[in-house]
Amino acid sequence: ISRTWFLSIIQNEFRTGKIDLESTMKLLETLQMSFDFTHVKHVFKKTVDKRKTHTINIEDFRAIYRAIVHRPEFQELFRAYSPNCKFLADTELIEFLRKEQYEAEACETTALEIILKYEPIEEVRKRRQMSFEGFIRYMSSEDCSIFKNNHRTIYQDMNHPLCDYFISSSHNTYLISDQLIGPSDLWGYTSALLKGCRCLEIDCWDGSNNEPVVYHGHTLTSKIPFRSVIQVIDKYAFVASDYPIVLSLENHCSPKQQEIMAEYLESILGDKLLTSTIGDTVVTQLPSPEALKFKILVKNKKVGTIEEGMLRRDLESHGETGEISDLENMTDEDETDEKAPLYPKNDSTKRKSEQKPSAPPRKKAKVKKIKIALALSDLVIYTKSEKFVSFEHSLANQKCYENNSIGEAQARKFVKHSAREFVSHTSRFITRIYPKGTRATSSNYNPQEFWNVGCQMVALNFQTPGLQMELQNGKFLDNGGCGYVLKPEFLRNHNSTFTPHNVGRYSKPMSLSIRLISGHQLPPSNLSKTNKADPLVHIEIYGVPEDQVKKKSSVIKSNALSPRWDETFSFTVQVPELALIRFCVEDEISLVANEFLGQYTLPLLSLSKG
């Protein structure tokens, strides 16, 4: 029956007898399976080389299709549940779903839905059965993805205050290569927004003709008008997610051009721009992502309180400026980490005497008042940039709508020496981490160590591919890819004693077993003239230090089309809520070198059983 079905779909193409490679590829696509051109080309070539022609007949085509699609590992499964090895009745499919896919709730309705969705042969569909063709299509579909289906949509409570979420954040969003001479480009903003990024950085400088520009100051990176950046943000803000966007302004403009910035923000973003509190003017707790849907927030220095600013907005404060003393105002990323404030050491008793509030940076000698245009200052509502002094200082003085930016090197010292205070701080205040200025090539740090202590905005260079961005993308696949992921309870609780290095009572050990069965149509090796590779798989867990582990499979020689491993790996994870799992496929080039072929990273708790 499946042969008749197959021929009925393809015979029209073979009216003239034979078809070439291009037509073969087109015809395969009509069969609604994904085919990799390199592999099809190789199997095609093997078929025609025997005969010195460049075309194939209908039987050759069927052989090529079966060579690629009819995977032995699928056949073994299918036969295990199909008594006649030809069809699965709905009851047999239910048994498969329960036993193999751990779908305890699977029933007749579930089975029929799958049959209707994936069975291509009408006659079989009508009999409420599934052929091997239908089974392959089901097994290759999103429904059988390793990523939990219900995590593809927003399933978390979005009514917690903003500081209770990890927020997808980008650094130097305007760059699309390196930080010294690379191009600044609007595409940086478009692509970050389309990836679900919710915190964008805008470096603003005075431009000619009273037009503020965006670029990496004091370098040769090209300049783009601030106005254009805001237009692009307006256009793409809520394509990937409805939840709020924070514009992190790295502001180097004169008060005059700051006024222009404020005008552009208001005129271009219109109602999307948050210009007043929602609900109470006196802010005792940050609003939730849900309450701020479709809103854009400005993160910048601010003169005075929210209440004063809102009163002033009613009075039209054109041309007025306020002053912020230099210590408060050193822009977040001007100083290198080395000049950052000393951190309170409390890793041993003999140092307790040193626990004074951190010494302010020496720059303070040149006390100069920085002027800030009130028109811009008053657009800052829930995201007021506040210079970080020390954890004690924040605990005593900082308001819930004030947030700090801490450079990676200083933040790393805090993780090492004062993790508990760091966790206490991030449970109350939004904390943004940014890469150190010496990363001229826009390289990234590992975001995991800062997520481990609850930092909400761990800003990465989205333009730089690699492990760090793969972890970022994997983490934010969660919760429907909306850019907000609820932090675990022990990172939200003000009284938490959790630290990543000593998880103690916060451990919820989970045992994980992964059976690596096979690969299919992997990218061939760069060294291969055909479609070959020598693939191996690394399975890695990222999380708190004691959960970090890497295991690797054996190497399968010269097979990228359908390598078969059948190896099992076991892990015990102490803090699954923070763990990510990464599958990385490499091609063994020599005993000492491997070439990257592909990877997939996802939150451990988003892994689907089966």
Q: Which residues are known catalytic residues?
A: 171, 216
d(CA 365, CA 356): 20
The kind and range of the H/E element at 536 are strand 535-542
Specify whether the CB–CB gap between 24 and 40 falls below 8 A: yes
CA distances from 245 to 198, 268, 303, 315 (A): 5, 15, 22, 27
CB 534 within 8 A of CB 558: yes
Residue whose entry in the numeric block shows the structure tokens 């940014």: 434
**What is d(CA 49, CA 33) in angstroms, rounded to the nearest whole number?**
25
* Rounded CA separation 517/551 (Å): 15
SS3 annotation, 54-121? CCECHHHHHHHHHHHHCCHHHHHHHHHHCCCCCEEEHHHHHHHHHHCCCCCCCCHHHHHHHHHHHCCC
Token pair 């994870």 in the structure block, residue: 573
Both structure tokens of 577: 């809520």
Residue 456 and residue 430 in contact, taking contact as beta carbons nearer than 8 Å = yes
Question: CB-hemisphere CA count at 13 Å for 82?
Answer: 18
Tokens matching residue 499: 């630290």
**Cβ contacts of 395-398, under 8 Å, gap ≥ 24:** 395/424, 395/425, 395/428, 398/428, 398/429
Question: Which two structure tokens, joined as six digits, stand for 162?
Answer: 């903003």
* Type and span of the H or E element at 599: strand 594-603
Report strand pairing: 580-588 vs 594-603: antiparallel
Helix (H) or strand (E) holding 551: strand 549-552
Q: Which residue type sits at 370?
A: I
